[in-house]
């Protein structure tokens, strides 16, 4: 009976997530924070249905996203505060990221299991990143979500790797610049470059980092003696990963350094099967072992130097040209 109960709970676990997604979409936490701090204000000032919103509010109270003070006003808890859009250190965009198109791709996972192809591309008739690039709002929200993860994931990178040995560092496919920003803060005299598509760099407001627009499938400029690929290669199959790495080695000087940051499946207790399934349905890719990344890099001429753990999930693989 324990197994049956476990399965029954699992069947409806998504209810919790989508209740929180709805609260984010309605910006409940931001509204309470800004003064719509009673049930009546929230319902009346936003023209929401009082009965259905009452159910959502009860859930948010029961799960400690919000609370009621001694004067019966609603307050946002520490957990709920992380879901305010205006919280720069929060997870609002990360929360929304896994609904929408990701949900549709997972709902059609059977196609990917049967074919090995992307169920997203099968449903939307274009690769995921092409889809994002065709919609400025979706592109911005995706990169904001990835940035929220990155600020946590990479916070220890500047202390684990000694970047002072380099004259300059380029973060290739660096999105909104979380990695290069952290490095620049720890090494203020280091010349730092952020390389990504023009459409992505439009959302970047960093002032002490040189932004370079381009496509890593076409050419990477020869501006730096070190390149970082942080959670880039896992988005692509072996052929496209080979193309990115070929352009990296062409961009680096002799004895230049490549740092790859990835979830190496052989370095983690969890086999990451669900993450690989997500990469399959979205991008027709997968999470690799460190040996697989080393093989890809050595195939274009890199020499493997060492690996270091960055956190519970990510590993830093260092290569030399």
Domain 137-320: CATH superfamily is Vaccinia Virus protein VP39 (3.40.50.150)
When pLDDT is cut at 50, 70 and 90, the band that residue 258 belongs to is very high
When pLDDT is cut at 50, 70 and 90, the band that residue 42 belongs to is very high
Q: Reply yes or no on whether the pLDDT at 269 is more than 90.
A: no
Residue 233, both tokens: 């290669």
Least confident segment among 68-72, 139-143, 176-180, 292-296: 68-72
The predicted structure's pLDDT at residue 271: 74
Those residues with Cβ within 8 angstroms of residue 110's Cβ, 6 or more apart along the chain or in another chain: 119
In the chain, domain spans: 2-87, 137-320
What's the fold here for domain 2-87? Answer: Arc Repressor Mutant, subunit A (1.10.10)
Q: Reply yes or no on whether the pLDDT at 272 is more than 90.
A: no
End-to-end CA distance of the chain: 58
Q: What's the whole-model pTM score? A: 0.93
Cβ–Cβ < 8 Å for 229, 244: yes
């Amino acid at each position: 009976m324990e197994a049956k109960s476990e399965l029954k709970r699992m069947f409806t676990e998504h209810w919790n997530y989508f209740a929180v997604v709805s609260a984010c979409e309605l910006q409940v936490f931001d509204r309470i924070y800004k003064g719509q701090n009673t049930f009546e204000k929230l319902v009346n000032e936003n023209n929401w249905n009082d009965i259905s919103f009452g159910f959502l509010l009860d859930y948010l109270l029961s799960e400690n996203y919000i609370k009621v003070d001694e004067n019966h006003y609603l307050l946002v808890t520490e957990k709920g505060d992380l879901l305010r859009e205006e919280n720069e250190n929060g997870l609002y965009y990360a929360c929304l990221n896994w609904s929408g198109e990701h949900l549709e791709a997972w709902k059609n996972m059977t196609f990917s299991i049967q074919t090995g192809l992307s169920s997203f591309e099968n449903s939307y008739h274009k690769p995921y990143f092409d889809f994002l690039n065709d919609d400025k709002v979706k592109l911005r929200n995706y990169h904001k979500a990835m940035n929220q993860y990155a600020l946590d994931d990479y916070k220890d990178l500047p202390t684990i790797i000694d970047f002072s040995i380099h004259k300059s560092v380029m973060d290739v496919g660096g999105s909104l610049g979380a990695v290069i920003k952290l490095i620049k803060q720890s090494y203020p005299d280091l010349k730092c470059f952020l390389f990504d598509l023009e459409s992505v760099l439009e959302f970047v407001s960093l002032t002490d980092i040189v932004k370079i627009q381009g496509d890593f499938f076409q050419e990477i400029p020869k501006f730096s003696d070190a390149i970082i690929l942080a959670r880039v290669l896992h988005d692509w199959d072996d052929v496209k990963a080979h193309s990115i790495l070929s352009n990296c080695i062409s961009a680096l000087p002799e004895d230049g350094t490549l740092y790859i940051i990835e979830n190496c499946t052989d370095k983690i207790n969890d086999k990451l099967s669900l993450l690989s399934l997500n990469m399959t349905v979205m991008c027709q890719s997968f999470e690799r072992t460190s040996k697989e990344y080393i093989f890809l890099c050595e195939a274009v001429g890199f020499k493997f130097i060492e690996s270091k753990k960055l956190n519970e999930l990510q590993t830093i693989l260092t290569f030399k040209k």
